[in-house]
Structure 1
Amino acid sequence: MDIDSFWELIEECRSQGRGRDGQLASLRDELSRRSLTEAVQFQVRLDEVTHEAFTWDLWAAADRILGGWCSDDGFCYFGLWMVGLGREAFARAVIDPDSLADTPEVQCLVGRPRELWNDDWPEWESLDHVAMEAYGLLTRADDDCGDAFYEAVEATEGAVGGNRGPRGEQWDVRCEGEAMRKLPRLSTMFPLRPLVR
């Protein structure tokens, strides 16, 4: 499965408009009709794509949207959610994180208390498990296919060396001046109390 095929699957699920659970079910069904190799390659492509989004500027955008505090896990789930926005929106956000302000998925959050976001919350942890679930269906394994699946993913990805930390320079989105300079639209849409220094 090449990167274009990966994004075609994501776009196909998005076009069904059945919410994240429906999209996951559709994706799981489609992957479970393919080969074990394709299920593994889907995960490899997902890992590659989310690594593209592993930047301090995108983490700051996630921090801003989420109220100034986004954990390590929360940022990983945010990156998976960004994949669900589709290829075009994802690519724009990697280049310009403030472009997330243009997405309907972010616009629908503006002005709403975070405790009411429910299914609109900008994270999609379960996307990271869908290929393994399809792999389990293909192998007819119960819940014990995880080790074999991740060994196959690791063997396909190969050894990844170097620093796996976020790219770019870390900065504090709670500093309003810098936030307004780097993320002007998101800063306006999701105001925070300024950080007192």
Structure 2
Amino acid sequence: MNELTKIGKKRTILLSISILLVSIHTIYFYHSVRPEIELKKLIQQLIRFSLTIGLLILVYEGKNWAKIVSLILFSLALLGALIGLGTLDTPFMNKIPIIVAIFVYSMAIYHFGFAKSFKEFFKFQNTEISESIQDSKEVMESEKFWKIIEVTKSESYGDYEKQQSLLKRELLKLTATEVLEFDNKFRTLRGEIYTWDFWAAAYIINGGCSDDCFSDFRGWLIGQGQSIFENAIQNIETLTELKETNDGDWEGLSYIATDIYENKTGKDIPQGVQENFEITGEEWEEDENDLKNRFPKLYAKFGME
């Protein structure tokens, strides 16, 4: 479930609760101004309230007919509230519940009818989950892994966002287990370059690099292909051969497999292989002279001078 889908889910729940609260207040207000409760009317209102709950549940589950019916009913409710607001001769404070109802129904109509987040959530709810969920410690074989990376790199022509889209395309061709094995391989490689030298390279290239930045850098570097990756392991200063660095915007590639697995199974990706989080190598100082002396070629190309 991507971020937009999660937003759609959250807003659907919040709006559904708001609609039910408006309904409860309407029932309460109707009977509070009368000397005694009209039992027949109350039963009718409770039946309608129960049907509203059922309708909202069906909308949440992705039933298209329920969405259409709800939009019609919310539109009628909004129209009724607007008429009531215009014709009710009462102090402003007494009109506040009607104004709140107008706001809630307006938001519901917009959300269920037009909001991108709901469309994404609605589409997700209607995605058929057909693949089983299973953990695996297996890693994808190197040749297959790097072939996928090379395809995305060669077809993206240096456009990192396009490369991410292409990786989604390639991973969608795989089974859920293969996606997990790809992610295992990806995280294994990312762990292999969790070293002070690679952090220094990211720091020099970007003019500074936090822990999160370094994680994104390692994912981005894997996306540059097998040759660049393996050459850098042998000699970190071969990174001077990089033709572009995406201006330090390295986030994205590391999360593709996780999203695709979730789309295929409806569940979070299993832990799989444990990534290495123990940094190795010789620590460096955040000092220009230290970085310049230890990584002269990198500093000459990407440093401040």
Do they superpose with TM above 0.5? yes
Q: How does 1:93-172 map to 2 (within 5 A)?
A: 93-106=232-245, 120-139=246-265, 141=266, 145-146=267-268, 149=269, 152=270, 154=271, 156-157=272-273, 164-172=277-285
Higher mean C-alpha deviation, range 182-191 or range 47-56: 182-191
**Which aligned segments of 4 or more residues in structure 1 are displaced greater than 6 angstroms?**
none
- 1:53/1:94 contact within 8 Å kept: yes
Contact persistence 1:29–1:134 (CA under 8 A): no
Q: Answer 1 or 2: which has greater helix percent.
A: 2
CA contact (8 A) 2:197 2:281 kept: yes
Amino acid at match of 1:135: Y
Q: Relative contact order (C-alpha < 8 Å, sep 6+): which is higher?
A: 1
Q: What's the secondary structure of 1:105's corresponding residue?
A: coil
Contact 1:79 1:123 in 2 (8 A): no
The answer for the alignment partner of 1:25 in structure 2 is 165
1:37–1:166 CA distance, 2 compared to 1 (3 A)? same
Counterpart in the other structure of 1:186: 298
Counterpart for residue 84 of structure 1 = 223
Any idea what the Cα deviations from partners look like across 1:40-69, whole Å, max 9, x if unmatched? 1111001011111111011111111121x2
What is the RMSD of the two structures over their aligned residues, measured on CA atoms?
2.0
Q: C-alpha distance in 2, partners of 1:43/1:125?
A: 16
Give the 5 Å matches for 1:16-95.
16-18=155-157, 19-67=159-207, 69-95=208-234
**TM-score, normalised by the number of residues in structure 2:** 0.50
Give identity over the alignment, percent: 30
Q: Secondary structure at the match of 2:156?
A: coil
One-letter code of the match for 1:60?
A: A
Give the alignment's TM-score, normalised by structure 1. Answer: 0.76
Aligned counterparts of 2:255 and 2:288: Cα–Cα separation in 1:
35
Q: Is the 8 A contact 2:213 2:250 kept in 1?
A: no
Separation of aligned partners in 1, 2:186 and 2:300: 31
User: Which consecutive unaligned segments of at least 5 residues does structure 2 have?
Assistant: 1-139
The 8 Å contact of residues 80 and 123 in structure 1, kept in 2 or not, is answered as no
Max Rg structure? 2
Name the CA distance, whole Å, in 2 between partners of 1:173 and 1:94.
22
